[in-house]
């Protein structure tokens, strides 16, 4: 699976302004729900926050992958968001986060969920991928950076 199969230009947002982890997840839920009428913003926010409370999703090196399984979701949905200012995200290296890849998967897709998380981590571990993501100055260039250099 490649990032292009789960990400769309309408769910790619460059340099969004948020002040906290909670606001970042709230904004992500808003942006994702506005691009997919099958998802309800408050339910998505609740699922993402509940998952975050179990274990923070900050990977380190400025990256977080908030994710959840969602009742009523029938396909894997990804959203790539960069922030204009890094925020505290309880990352494993205690560094602030400036890049979020939000992942929503169907409720019963446990194996696929783990496979997609693994693919995302592998991509974000590549310095060339990270550099292109961070260099993007608008949502279109961010989308192209994500899908052109992904595994």
Give the residue numbers marked as catalytic: 67
Counting every residue written for the chain, the total comes to: 151
Do 86 and 123 meet the contact criterion of CB atoms below 8 Å apart? no
Token output for 137:
């100055």
Domain with 141 in it: 3-148
For 106-122, how does the pLDDT look when each residue is reduced to its tens digit (9 = 90+)?
988 888 889 999 999 99
For 41-94, how does the pLDDT look when each residue is reduced to its tens digit (9 = 90+)?
999 999 999 999 999 999 999 999 999 999 888 899 999 999 999 999 999 999
What whole-number distance in Å separates Cα of residue 61 and Cα of residue 139? Answer: 21
**What pTM was computed for the model?**
0.94
Residue 90, sorted as left (phi over 0), alpha (psi -120 to 50) or beta, turns out to be: left
Instruction: Identify the burial level of 61 via C-beta atoms within 10 angstroms of its C-beta, where 0-12 means exposed, 13-18 middle and 19 or more buried.
Output: middle
Q: Looking at the 3D structure of the chain, how many domains does it have?
A: 1
Do 146 and 7 meet the contact criterion of CB atoms below 8 Å apart? yes
The CATH number covering residue 103 comes to: 3.40.930.10
What whole-number distance in Å separates Cα of residue 23 and Cα of residue 87? Answer: 10
């Amino acid at each position: 699976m490649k990032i292009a199969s789960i990400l769309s230009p309408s769910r790619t947002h460059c340099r969004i302004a948020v002040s906290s982890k909670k606001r970042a997840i709230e904004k992500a839920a808003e942006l994702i729900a506005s691009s997919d009428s099958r998802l309800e913003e408050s339910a998505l926010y609740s699922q993402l926050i509940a998952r975050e409370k179990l274990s923070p999703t900050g990977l380190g090196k400025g990256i977080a992958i908030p994710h959840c399984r969602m009742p009523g979701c029938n396909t894997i949905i990804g959203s790539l968001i960069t922030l204009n200012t890094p925020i505290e995200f309880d990352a494993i290296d205690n560094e602030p986060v400036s890049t979020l890849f939000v992942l929503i998967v169907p409720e019963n897709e446990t194996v696929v969920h783990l496979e997609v998380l693994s693919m995302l981590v592998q991509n974000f571990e590549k310095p060339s991928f990270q550099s292109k993501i961070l260099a993007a100055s608008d949502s279109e260039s961010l989308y192209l950076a994500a899908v052109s250099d992904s595994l």
